[in-house]
Structure 1
Amino acid sequence: MRKPTIQDVAKRAGVGVGTVSRVLNNHAAVKGATRETVLRAIGDLDYTPNPHARRIAGGKSYTISVLLPVVTTEFYVRLLDGLEKAFQEARYDVAIFPLLDRSRLERYLGSHTLAYQADGLVMATYNLSGLFQERRLRPQQPTVLVDAFAEGVDCAFLDNVTGGRMAGEHAVTLPGELYAIWVETELDQLFTTRVFEERRAGFHEAVAAAGRTVRAEFTSSFDAHAARSVACALLDGAEFPCTVFASADLLAGALLDEAHARGLRVGQDLRVIGFDDQPWAAARGLTTLHQPVEGMGYEAAQLLLGRLGGFRGPPRARRFEPHLIVRETA
């Protein structure tokens, strides 16, 4: 049997080929009922567009470049899930570019690189606003930031100050000394994230408002082995009972592992508050700040798709707010 064509879809849906094309390109001009009819015809016929022909006809790559720090952590896997879900619905492919180090970012600063040959650009987490302001980062295509905020750019971000404040307000109600673990936030001093800086600011604000102090603070890279080493150092010098705010669940998980290895009673000798609410957090009884990671990625993609669909309005900022989930660890 021959593969169905766009003409077959148009005939079955009772519309013109141009209307089918606009539906495939997620064009805003198609009425809802018409869109549903075309999508139903596509599903009935099991029609798959020819990507090569589509690119030639539309003068587009139908590819989105995603620049992000790493691809190996749960957070970024979940963020990519949200981004890819929206882009796949609009029939765009996703090309992932992990930054990792200074040399890669320097390469990406040149508009001739592969990352800039896509129709749109997503930049995750790192605070690149300085690069925009210095005109060192001048993408020609529509750009959106996710898990980050900058003036003059579409962005979807979490209110991390509020999250840190919520952690602090809960921590000060618990007995014993207060400790905190932060994530190293700079890569080669070139690009930084404000995420953990903002969580720290909110946490200290709440602790100070309660007339309390943080006994000691530790810093770890975003790596499981480094997190376990820092957990050892913290517990070696801790005065029990105590409460620890681990500013990412990865750090909290390492702290729980080390506490169990030492026979500490989590929830009594040691209380732990994390941040992220990763999928495993509930099973481990981790008190943590939930953030809608996939939803944030999906919304960022929608902002970019709006630009690709013709939106020319001012930059839009989509703010997400975390909420505290209290479980056994605190």
Structure 2
Amino acid sequence: MRKPTIQDVARRAGVGVGTVSRVLNNHVAVKGVTRETVLKAIADLEYTPNPHARRIAGGKSYTISVLLPMLTTEFYTRLLDGLEAAFQEARYDVAIFPLLDRSRLERYLGSHTLAYQADGLVMATYNLTTLFHERRMRTQQPTVLVDAYTDNVDCAYMDNVTGGRLAGEYASSLPGAVYAIWVETELDQLFTTRVFEDRRSGFLDATKRAGREVSGEFITSFDTLAARNTAASLLDELRATPGGLPATVFASADLLAGAVLDEAHARGIKVGEELRIIGFDDQPWAAARGLTTLHQPVESMGYEAAQLLLSRLNGHRGPPRARRFEPTLVRRETA
């Protein structure tokens, strides 16, 4: 039995082949009723487009490049889930390019790099457009920034100032000293991301307004061992300080909060009583561990960023747009 063709879909839906092609490419110039009719015909016939023919006919790669700092954290896994959900709906493939460190970033700054041969580009957390211009990079393809704000390209971002403020207000309402742990990576030395800077700004503003002093601030990386060592240093300081407990720790990412939680349990410290822990992310495991944290709609942010980019690929020519998402405080046993 032969495989159904695009002509078969067109006949069944009662439309032209061009209309079917526009539906497959998620083009905006297709009426909703017509789109549904074509999609039903595709489902009924179990039609699968030939990706090679599609690329040749459209003169496009139907690939999106995603540049992100790393692959090993749950945050970026969730962000990719949101991005890929939207791109798969539009039948685009995703190519992932992790930055990781200075040397890899340098390689990606070459205009010959495969990352820039895609139809569109997603930059996660770090706005590389200034580096593009410095290197005279080929950047004519549509670009979107996700997990950070910029005014020169489309972006979908989390309001981290508000998230930090919510954490600061809640920490200030709890008894005992207040501490905080922030994240810094090698990439932060190369160019600026405001994610943790904004969380810190909101947090310190809220504690100041509440008349509370932050007794100590610690910095670590997105590395499990480094986070655990930082947690140990913080708890060592609490133990060495007269009246150090009870205390509250705001860990600006759940990965860090988990390290503090593990180290506290290993030392027999009563979490939720002697030590209160507030995280940021609301990762899938946070509820099971009773972690009080700031919930981020990460998948929704990724999905919206992808939709902004797809609209550019479908012909939108307006000024840069920004989509703002706001964290919410989720109270659980750790605080």
* TM range, smaller chain: over 0.9
Does 1:273 find its partner at 2:283? no
Distance 1:168 1:137 in 2: 41
Distance 1:52 1:15 in 2: 23
Does 1:176 find its partner at 2:176? yes
Per-residue deviation, 1:129: 5.2
How has the CA–CA distance of structure 1 residues 325 and 25 changed in structure 2, closer, same or farther, with 3 Å as cutoff? same
Instruction: Classify the secondary structure of the residue corresponding to 1:169.
Output: helix
Which region of structure 1 is more displaced relative to structure 2, 200-209 or 181-190?
A: 181-190
Tell me what 2:241 maps to: none
Tell me what 2:45 maps to: 45
Tell me what 1:301 maps to: 306
Deviations 1:244-278, CA, capped at 9 Å, x for gaps: 00000000001101111111111100000000000
Distance 2:137 2:167 in 1: 35
How has the CA–CA distance of structure 1 residues 136 and 274 changed in structure 2, closer, same or farther, with 3 Å as cutoff? farther
Residues 109, 132 of structure 2: 8 Å contact kept:
no
Which residue identity does 1:150 align to in structure 2? T
Instruction: Classify the secondary structure of the residue corresponding to 1:39.
Output: helix
Distance 1:137 1:131 in 2: 8
How has the CA–CA distance of structure 1 residues 137 and 233 changed in structure 2, closer, same or farther, with 3 Å as cutoff? farther
Which residue identity does 2:294 align to in structure 1? L
Per-residue deviation, 1:186: 3.9
Which residue identity does 1:12 align to in structure 2? R
Report how many residues are paired: 330
The one of 286, 289, 305 equivalent to 2:294 is 289
Per-residue deviation, 1:191: 2.8
Does 1:120 find its partner at 2:120? yes
Residues 65, 94 of structure 1: 8 Å contact kept:
yes
Per-residue deviation, 1:211: 1.1
- Normalised to the residue count of structure 1, the TM-score between the two structures is 0.97
Does 1:241 find its partner at 2:257? no
Task: Say what the alpha-carbon RMSD is for the aligned residues.
Answer: 1.2
Per-residue deviation, 1:136: 4.8
Does 1:324 find its partner at 2:329? yes
Ranges in structure 1 where 5+ consecutive residues have no aligned partner: none
Ranges in structure 2 where 5+ consecutive residues have no aligned partner: 239-243
Deviations 1:42-76, CA, capped at 9 Å, x for gaps: 11111110000000000000000000000111000
Distance 1:251 1:80 in 2: 21
Instruction: Classify the secondary structure of the residue corresponding to 2:145.
Output: strand
Residues 129, 150 of structure 1: 8 Å contact kept:
no
Instruction: Classify the secondary structure of the residue corresponding to 1:41.
Output: helix
Distance 2:250 2:273 in 1: 15
Residues 116, 138 of structure 2: 8 Å contact kept:
no
Distance 2:184 2:219 in 1: 6
Per-residue deviation, 1:34: 0.3
- Normalised to the residue count of structure 2, the TM-score between the two structures is 0.96
Instruction: Classify the secondary structure of the residue corresponding to 1:191.
Output: coil
Of all paired residues, the percent bearing the same amino acid is 81
